[in-house]
Amino acid sequence: DGGITQSPKYLFRKEGQNVTLSCEQNLNHDAMYWYRQDPGQGLRLIYYSQIVNDFQKGDIAEGYSVSREKKESFPLTVTSAQKNPTAFYLCASSIQGYAEAFFGQGTRLTVV
Amino acid sequence: GQQVMQIPQYQHVQEGEDFTTYCNSSTTLSNIQWYKQRPGGHPVFLIQLVKSGEVKKQKRLTFQFGEAKKNSSLHITATQTTDVGTYFCASSLGNEKLTFGTGTRLTIIP
């Protein structure tokens, strides 16, 4: 089946640890995105990438890092510099920036 | 930076009543997309509008794009319990940076 997969669904980490969230797509999409959603809030853009080996900061990139070494993969690292990392993280992809976005199931990160 | 504002933030309606959410931008939008997120789920694409004044319908849902391409609306006729969720508008804002509105959470009173 074609789609976009995020893993794990739930993730727990201790404060001060870096953690990497996985996002893989087999839709042959060029564009990929990472969003953060807090309870009752909208989606805020963390990073986006339009092509392999290139990515841009979104509105809340501080404390996060990404890589785009392969078209299919766009992992997000939540670093210890992120002051309030507990949130729901959503990865999305689209054929190109103007097309509909397909979302993964999301990863709920809890930092204790 | 550029923002897409959405109102209202919350809407509670009696089942069978109509519902409308509005999306506004201070700048001209190249396109507008609408998504629905069920409670506990992920956003799912509903539709995209690109032309000035465009109107599209999907069963009980009507989507409009303003003449100036700075605003959009989603109207649901005769709401049902299956319409529960948060509705988001989104736009690439002309630079391929897909930005979402703040969303409108719809709850239905049976």
Tens of pLDDT along B63-80?
999 999 999 999 999 999
| Separation CA A35–CA A24 (nearest Å) | 15
Confidence of residue A2 (pLDDT cuts 50, 70, 90): low
Under DSSP, the state recorded for B18 is: -
Quick one: which H or E segment has residue A110?
A: strand A107-111
Query: What are B's interface residues with A at a Cβ cutoff of 8 A?
Result: 1, 6, 30-31, 33, 35, 42-45, 48, 88, 90, 92, 95-103, 105
| Residue pLDDT, tens place only, B22-56 | 999 999 999 999 999 999 999 999 999 999 999 99
Minimum Cα–Cα distance from A59: chain B residue: B1
Q: Which of A27, A43, A57 has the most B C-beta neighbours within 10 Å, making it the best mutation to test the interface with B?
A: A43
Q: Which segments of B10-100 are extended strands (E)?
A: 10-14, 19-25, 32-37, 44-49, 55-58, 61-65, 71-76, 85-91, 99-100
| B98–A104 CB contact, under 8 Å | no
Which one of B30, B88, B96 has the shortest CB-CB distance to A43? B88
User: Taking 80 as the threshold, does the pLDDT of residue B58 lie above it?
Assistant: yes
Q: How many angstroms separate the CA of residue A95 from the nearest CA in chain B?
A: 11
Residue A98 pLDDT class (50, 70, 90 cuts): confident
Q: Answer for the pair B50, A99: CB distance below 8 angstroms, yes or no.
A: no
pLDDT of B1 higher than 60: no
**Taking 70 as the threshold, does the pLDDT of residue B8 lie above it?**
yes
Average pLDDT, chain B: 94
What is the reported pLDDT for B2?
56
Cross-chain residue pair B102–A42, CB shorter than 8 Å? yes
Residues A15-69: tens digit of each pLDDT: 999 999 999 999 999 999 999 999 878 899 999 999 999 999 999 999 999 999 9
- The pLDDT confidence band at residue A107, using thresholds 50, 70 and 90, is very high
